Amino acid sequence: MAMSGGNAIRGTRVGAGPMGESERGETAPRARIPYFCANGHETRPSFAAEAEIPEFWDCPRCGLPAGREQASPPAAPRNEPYKTHLAYVKERRSDEDGAAILEEALARLRASREL
């Protein structure tokens, strides 16, 4: 026995209507702006015509900053190397200061052991 008919709204969601501009309204005028990164990648994000266009955009392929001029893309940002706690201490204190602090700490340690 073959079934005919079935559920007419199967596969649709409640409130879904015909798709198209008449249902959603007209789209705003758009402009596709090219950006170029230092690796030679080009990306063209879309902006509303009346929107303020940013000077830089992150390249979606490599993550570097991209600019509007292909001949002179922005340089990659400098990444500062990771500094240890000791490196920061050495920036603030001289070797003589370090030796004096060490000697003071050792003297306190020796004095506490003598008690």
pLDDT in tens, 41-77: 999 999 998 999 999 999 999 999 999 999 999 998 8
Q: Report whether 37 belongs to an annotated binding site.
A: yes
Q: Report whether 59 belongs to an annotated binding site.
A: yes
Q: Name 77's Cβ contacts closer than 8 Å, sequence gap at least 6.
A: 65
Q: Which two tokens stand for residue 37?
A: 């990164």
Amino acid making up residue 78: R
Q: Report whether 85 belongs to an annotated binding site.
A: no
Task: Write a three-state SS string for 16-47.
Answer: CCCCCHHHHCCCCCEEECCEEECCCCEECCEE
pTM for the model: 0.51
Q: Report whether 15 belongs to an annotated binding site.
A: no
Burial (CB count within 10 angstroms: exposed 0-12, middle 13-18, buried 19+), residue 36: buried
